[in-house]
């Protein structure tokens, strides 16, 4: 993180962290709102020149929300990379979302070119930033960002497991009628239909869900979790989920900026953890002031290992299609 303490003649002044959102569409707009409401720092919404008016307008609208909400974050919109210098945290949603009938992998052709361009600019303008990638297909996009930027592995992470685990938690809370606050669970692996919900470790208030929900209903919840993004794509008809993805990424950014050391399932670069080597895949990740500080490796059952290997095959295939 950059040093935010400046010694002025009048004493210490604290400058706020700078959070730059690459892509100011559906997720980008919500990221700006949520980051401002948590007062994580000052926020810049960046988009292509064609969308400059849109992001400037969103920024102004969010500034005018300040008197009602009371946050003091400064929010601006731009299409000029020079405005992103000294950024502390980037959150990247640049690219196109899915339409009904599309897999996340179908977005690769268009979004890869965008990610390469974004990575090159970020490397030039803010080489010390912490970067959270959201664009899909996630596991390949975060891999591409890492390859092209050359950033160290602790400063690059993908948002997927946080969202997938949140969806799993949501469905368990809906099934049991109990508070979602007390549901703990994790979803590992790639951000696609082959993701791996670790149901064995899911609890409500510490009580195993396997003692609360029948095996048939648990299976249905796992299946719904795997395709939860697609369920929303179908309902929208034109675009993909944005509220929950935005909040999931904000949790990650907050953990970095406030050194919370939260344990969040994230797409992190594995070098041996869970038997995975050289790929970004969803694993329990400690995020603190050092970025990705640690991956919490633990022993999977034979079935879980087999499922993780299947999801890894899907990730490897998409990554190989990037040609990187």
Instruction: Give the nearest distance from C-beta 140 to ligand APR in angstroms.
Output: 11
Residue 122 beta carbon to ligand APR: minimum distance, rounded to whole angstroms: 11
Nearer to ligand APR, 25 or 197 (CB): 25
Closer by beta carbon to ligand APR, 126 or else 218: 126
| CB contact at 8 A, 228 and 167 | yes
CB 149 within 8 A of CB 123: yes
Active site residue 125: no
Write the interaction track for ligand APR spanning residues 233-272; mark x where CB under 6 A is met and - where it is not. Answer: ------xx-x--x---------------------------
Q: Is 136 in the site for ligand APR (CB under 6 A)?
A: yes
- Report helix, strand or coil for 282: strand
Nearest in space to 227 (alpha carbons), one of 195, 189, 198, 179: 195
Using the rule CB under 6 A, is 108 a contact of ligand APR? no
Is residue 132 at the binding interface for ligand APR, with CB under 6 A as the rule?
Answer: no
Lay out the site mask for ligand APR across 180-219 (x = CB under 6 A, - = otherwise): ----------------------------------------
Distance CA 252, CA 132 (A): 8
Q: 191 is written with which tokens?
A: 């951000």
Size of site (CB under 6 A) for ligand APR: 29
Please return the burial class of 72, using the count of CB atoms within 10 Å of its CB with bins 0-12, 13-18 and 19+.
exposed
The span of 131-139, 204-212, 261-269, 274-282 binding ligand APR (CB under 6 A) equals 131-139
C-beta separation of 114 from 134 below 8 A: no
Instruction: Provide the CB-side half-sphere exposure for 263 (13 A, CA).
Output: 10
Which residues are catalytically annotated? 191
């Amino acid at each position: 993180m950059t040093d935010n303490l400046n010694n002025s003649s009048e004493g210490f002044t604290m400058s706020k962290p700078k959070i730059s959102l690459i892509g100011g569409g559906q997720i980008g707009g919500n990221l700006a709102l949520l980051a401002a409401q948590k007062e994580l720092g000052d926020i810049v919404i960046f988009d292509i020149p064609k969308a400059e008016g849109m992001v400037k307008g969103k920024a102004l609208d969010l500034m005018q929300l300040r008197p009602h909400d009371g946050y003091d974050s400064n929010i601006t919109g731009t299409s000029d990379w020079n405005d992103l210098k000294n950024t502390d945290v980037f959150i990247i949603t640049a690219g196109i979302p899915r339409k009904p009938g599309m897999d996340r992998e179908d977005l690769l052709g268009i979004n890869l070119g965008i990610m390469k361009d974004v990575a090159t600019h970020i490397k030039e303008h803010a080489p010390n930033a912490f970067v959270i990638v959201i664009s899909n297909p996630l596991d390949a996009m975060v891999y591409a960002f890492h390859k092209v930027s050359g950033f160290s592995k602790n400063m690059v992470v993908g948002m997927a497991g946080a969202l997938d685990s949140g969806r799993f938690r949501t469905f368990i809370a809906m099934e049991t009628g109990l508070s979602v606050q007390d549901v703990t669970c994790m979803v590992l692996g790639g951000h696609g239909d082959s993701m791996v919900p670790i149901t064995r470790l899911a609890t409500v208030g510490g009580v195993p869900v396997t003692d609360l929900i029948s095996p048939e209903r648990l299976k249905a919840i796992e299946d719904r979790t795997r395709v939860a993004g697609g369920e929303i794509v179908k309902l929208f008809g034109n675009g993909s989920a944005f509220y929950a993805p935005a909040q999931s990424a904000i949790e990650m950014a907050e953990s970095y900026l406030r050194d919370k050391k939260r344990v969040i399932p994230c797409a992190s670069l594995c070098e041996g953890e869970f038997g995975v080597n050289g790929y970004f895949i969803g694993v329990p990740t400690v995020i603190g002031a050092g970025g990705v500080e640690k991956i919490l490796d633990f022993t999977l059952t034979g079935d879980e290992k087999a499922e993780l290997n299947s999801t890894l095959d899907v990730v490897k295939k998409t990554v190989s299609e990037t040609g990187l």
